[in-house]
Structure 1
Amino acid sequence: MSISPRRKRDRERKTNEIVVAAENEFFSKGYEKTTMESIAAKLELTKPALYRYFKNKDDLYYAVVLRGTIILANMMDKEVASQDTGIKKIYATGLAYCKFYKEYPDYTKVLLEAKADFSPVKDSINLEKLIEYSTKQLTIMCNAIETGKKDGTIRADIDTFMTALYLIESTTAILQLSKNTEFAIKSMGINKEEFIRHSFKLMGNSIENNDKENNI
C-alpha cells in the first residue's frame, strides 16, 4: 500500500528532527558516548519509536555524515563554478575545504572519522547518497584537472584520476594533523588555517603547467 503525500511529509519531517538531535549528540559527546537512548531522550521518544526510523546508531551517524558530505560537495561546486581556468578551479576546491573546515568544524570531524570506511552503513538507505556525493567531490576534481589540461594551466602528462585522488587524500591528511604537528606549527607562530592554505598552494604548484603564464 502506498504512503499518502501527507504521511510521507510527516515522516520526512520527523526523520529530519531525529537527525538534528542525533547531530547535536554526536557533536557534543562523540560517537562512542552517544547512545540511541540519549538521542531518544532528547526527542522525548521511546527507543522503539526511534528504531522505526533508523536501524541503529551507525545508521543515524551516517545520516549526519551525509549532511556534511552534501554541504562540502555543494561548497566545492559553488567555488569551482566561479573560476574560469582549470588551475583556478583546483585552487577553488582547496578554498572550499578551508571554508568548510572553518565554518563547519563539527562536520569536518565526523567526515574525517567516517571517510575511511562506509561498511558499517552498508545496508542503510544512506549508503547510496553517501557514495553519490563522495563521488561528486571526486568528479569535480577530475573535471577541473581535465579543464586545466585543455586550457594549458595544468600539466598534460599527469593522470587525471590518480591526481584527483592524490589531491583529495592529501587534503584529508592535512586536515587531520596530529597534536604534535599542531603544537609545532603553533610554536612557530603559524595557525592551522595558514598551514592548510600553504599546503594547498604547494599541491597546486605540483600540477600547474609552468610553461604557460597564468594569472592565479
Structure 2
Amino acid sequence: MRVPRPVPVPWIQSMLPTTARLSRQEQANLFLLVKSLFRLRQTLIDTLPTIDILIIINKMSIFRPESSGAAQLRPRSRNDEEKLERRNSILDAARKTILSKGYEKTTMDDIARAAKLSRGLLYVYFKDKDDIQMGLAVKAGEALYQRMKAAVDVAHSGIDALKGIGEAYYQFYRQDHEHFQCLCMRMGMINPSLDRNTDSCTLREMMAEEDKIMGLMSSCVERGLQDGTINPDKVDNPLQTAMFMRGSLHGVIMLQDTTGSSLFDRTELDREELILYAMRFALEELRA
C-alpha cells in the first residue's frame, strides 16, 4: 500500500526539519492528527469561542521537544492582536447599534451587518447578545477606571482622592456618555441567577473591572483613615463606604438626567449644582 506524502501547511513549516527524522508513515500520521485537531477546533469554537486550539496542541506530549524532538508550537502574537482588534471593532459597532435601536430590538444580524462580517464569524467572538453587552460593560468599566485612577494618582490625601473619584465619575457621565450608558444598561440587566451559573470569559472580565473600580475606591477610604482625613467613627467597612459613595452619586446623576425627574424642567433646580452639592455633602460627612 502506497503511503501518501504529507502536505505541509504554513504554520508547521518550522517542524519540517525535525519531522524529517520520522518515517514516511509517522509523518503521514502526524499530518492526519493535525488535520483532526483543526476539525475539532471548528467543532469547539461555537461553544468555546475563546479557546485557541494551538495552546492545546502546545501542551500535548507529541509536540514537546523532550518527547518527540519536534518544535514547540506557540500562538502567534500577531494573530492575537488581530483577534483583539476584530473583537474591539465588533464591540464598537454593537455599541452604536444598541444605543441607536435599543438592546431588545437589536439582533445579532444587526450587529454583524454593522461590524461588516458574517453572522457565523460574530459567534466566533461572542456566544450571544448578552455576551456582547457584557463586553461593552467591560470596555466602559475600564474607561471609568482609568479616569478614576488618574484622579487618585494626583490626590494628596484620602478625602481628596474620594473627591477626585467623584469628579471623575461625573465627567465620565458628561464626556463619555456612550460608555456611561453601556455601564448603566448592564447595571439594569444583571440577572443574579444567570451570573452565578454562567461560566463566561466575558462575565469574568466584567466582574474583574467591577472589582478594580470598587477596590480603588475602597483603598481611598482606607488611605483617608490612615492619613487622618476621614473620620473613623463614620466608617464601619471601607468597601461599604465606597459602595455608598458610588451609589449615592450615581443615583443623583441618574435623577438629574434628561430621562430622570421632570422637576428640573418645571423649577429653577439646577442639575449640575445638585451633583456638586451631593458630592460636598457626602465628603463633609466623612471628613475628620
Paired positions, count: 209
* 2:285 alignment partner in structure 1: 206
CA 1:13/1:77 → structure 2, altered by over 3 Å: closer, same or farther? Answer: same
* 1:140 alignment partner in structure 2: 216
CA 1:154/1:186 → structure 2, altered by over 3 Å: closer, same or farther? Answer: farther
Q: What are the superposed Cα offsets for residues 65-86 of structure 1, whole Å, 9 maximum, x if unpaired?
A: 1111000011101011111111
Contact in 2 for aligned 1:87/1:145 (Cα 8 Å)? yes
Contact in 1 for aligned 2:91/2:132 (Cα 8 Å)? yes
* 1:185 alignment partner in structure 2: 264
> Which deviates more from structure 2 when the two are superposed, residues 14-23 or residues 178-187?
178-187
Task: Return the offset for 1:95.
Answer: 0.4
- Which secondary structure state, in structure 1, belongs to the residue aligned with residue 262 of structure 2? helix
Task: Return the offset for 1:30.
Answer: 1.9
RMSD: 2.0
* 1:72 alignment partner in structure 2: 144
Q: Which structure has the larger Rg over C-alpha atoms?
A: 2
* 1:60 alignment partner in structure 2: 132
* 1:26 alignment partner in structure 2: 98
Residue identity opposite 2:82 in structure 1: D
Greater length-normalized contact order (CA 8 Å, ≥ 6 residues apart): 1
Task: Return the offset for 1:110.
Answer: 1.9
* 1:172 alignment partner in structure 2: 250
CA 1:118/1:172 → structure 2, altered by over 3 Å: closer, same or farther? Answer: farther
- The whole-number CA distance in structure 2 between the counterparts of 1:180 and 1:104 is 17
CA 1:181/1:57 → structure 2, altered by over 3 Å: closer, same or farther? Answer: closer
User: Which runs of 5 or more residues in structure 2 are unaligned?
Assistant: 1-53, 56-74
Task: Return the offset for 1:58.
Answer: 0.6
CA 1:6/1:150 → structure 2, altered by over 3 Å: closer, same or farther? Answer: closer
TM-score normalized with structure 2 length: 0.67
TM-score normalized with structure 1 length: 0.88
Task: Return the offset for 1:185.
Answer: 2.8
User: Which runs of 5 or more residues in structure 1 are unaligned?
Assistant: 210-216
